Amino acid sequence: MEEALRTPEMVVRLRIYRHTDPAALARVAELKNLQSLSISLADVSQLLPRLDKMKNLQILHLQACNIPTFPESILSLSNLRSLSIGNSSLGALPEKISGLDKLEELSLSQNSLERIPQSIGRLTQLQRLGLSYNKLEELPESLGNLGALVWLFLDVNRLRQVPESIGELARLKSLSLNCNDLRTIPESICRLTSLERLSIERNPLESLPGCLSTMGIETISIEAEKRPLFMDWTYQPSDQPPRIALTDMKLFVEPASPFHAPLLAATESYGAGEFAPLILGLAREAVRIDSTVPDDYSRPGNSRLGGFPDLSDSELFPRDEEGRYWIFLAQLNLEDLASLNTYLPRAGLLSFFIESTESLKARVLFFEGDVRELKTIRHAGGEAMTDDTDDYTQSPYGVKFQRFVSLPHCPPEEMESGEAPDTYEKIRELSKGGDHYINGYTFTQHESPQEQAANELRGKPEEWVPLLQLGWDDKVGFCFWDAGTVTFTIHREDLRRGDFSRVHASLETS
What pLDDT shows up at residue 450? 96
Helix 260-269 with 420-427: angle, nearest 10 deg: 150
Between CA 342 and CA 429, with CA 487 as vertex, the angle to 5 degrees is 70
Cβ pair 93, 119 in contact under 8 A: no
Task: Say how far apart CA 163 and CA 173 lie, in whole Å.
Answer: 17
With 90 as the cut, is the pLDDT of residue 70 above it?
A: yes
Burial of residue 261 (number of CB atoms within 10 Å: 0-12, 13-18, 19+): exposed
pLDDT for 209 equals 95
Residue 198 pLDDT more than 80? yes
pLDDT band at 7 (very low <50, low <70, confident <90, very high): confident
d(CA 369, CA 178): 50
Radius of gyration of the chain from its Cα atoms, rounded to whole angstroms: 29
**What are the φ/ψ torsions at residue 40 (nearest 5 degrees)?**
-130, 140
Instruction: Report CA torsion sign: 443, 446, 451, 452.
Output: negative
Residue ranges in 27-181 assigned as alpha helix (H): none
Distance CA 358, CA 506 (A): 10
Percent of the chain topping pLDDT 70: 98
Q: Which pLDDT belongs to residue 11? A: 81
Residue 483 has pLDDT above 90, yes or no: no
- List for the chain the helix, strand, coil content (%; round to 5): 25, 20, 50
C-alpha–C-alpha distance, residues 196 and 176, integer Å = 11
267-291 pLDDT, tens per residue?
A: 999 999 999 999 999 999 999 999 9
Cα(359)–Cα(1) distance, integer angstroms:
45
> According to the model, what pLDDT value does residue 441 have?
96
DSSP E strands: which ranges in 207-298? 219-221, 284-294
pLDDT at 353 over 90: yes
Length of the chain: 510
Position 9 confidence tier, pLDDT thresholds 50, 70, 90 = confident
**The model's pTM:** 0.79
| pLDDT at 1 (0 to 100) | 63
Band of the pLDDT at 4, cuts 50, 70, 90?
A: low
Output the DSSP codes for 228-244.
GGTS-------SSPPSS
Question: How far, in Å, CA of 358 to CA of 151, rounded?
Answer: 28
Q: How many whole angstroms separate alpha carbon 225 and alpha carbon 452?
A: 11
Between CA 356 and CA 480 the distance in angstroms is 10
Tens digit of pLDDT for each residue in 139-181?
999 999 999 999 999 999 999 999 999 999 999 999 999 999 9
CA dist 351 and 223 (Å) reads 31
Rounded Cα–Cα distance for residues 120 and 145 (Å):
9
* 85 has a pLDDT exceeding 90: yes
Question: Residues 389, 404: contact at Cβ < 8 Å?
Answer: no
- The average pLDDT across 80-98 equals 96
> Sign of dihedral through CA atoms 27, 29, 31, 32?
negative
In sequence order, which residues have a C-beta less than 8 Å from that of residue 415 and are 6 or more positions away? 272, 275, 278, 421, 423, 424
Question: What is the model's pLDDT at position 20?
Answer: 81
Give the model's pLDDT for residue 482: 85
Q: Average pLDDT of 440-447?
A: 91
The pLDDT confidence band at residue 509, using thresholds 50, 70 and 90, is confident
The burial of 490, by beta-carbon neighbours within 10 Å (0-12 exposed, 13-18 middle, 19 or more buried), is given as buried
Q: What's the chain's average pLDDT?
A: 95
